[in-house]
Amino acid sequence: MAYDEYLGERISNILKTKKANFSSKPMMGGLCFLVDDKMLCGIHTDKKLGHSLLMARIGEASYEKQLEKEVCLPMDFTGRPMKGYIFVTPDGFDMEADLEYWIDQCLLFNPDAKASKKRKNA
């Protein structure tokens, strides 16, 4: 697998504990977790750094504040950061309580998140 399977298990276990109705699917070279058919968080392997990053969809309201943290990076695939999404480095989710904090931040934003438009099958 191209992503950290252990991190995937940890995220799944936290979501199960919180009784979140979630699914997961391979996306963007990693694994994404969805709640209510909306992207919640994911695992991305950074080829430059050589380790997994937690992708967190936290919303624009807390985006700038969270980026002040040493463990946070803007989520940037194309040279233009995606507002409302951040990457968390391994030091930011190594401890279970830290990972749960980020999952909680994602779950707090999820009800306000917009779902992606469904593609029509050709």
CATH code of the domain occupying 5-112: 3.90.1150
Instruction: Give the residue ranges of DSSP H helices in 18-113.
Output: 60-67, 96-109
* pLDDT at res. 32: 94
Whole-angstrom distance, CA of residue 83 vs CA of residue 100: 22
Domain ranges of the chain: 5-112
End-to-end CA, the chain: 29
So what's the pLDDT on residue 34?
Answer: 96
Query: What's the pTM?
Result: 0.90
Which residues, at least 6 apart from 104, have a Cβ–Cβ distance to it below 8 Å?
Answer: none
Give residue-wise pLDDT tens across range 63-101. 999 999 999 999 987 788 899 999 999 999 999 999 999
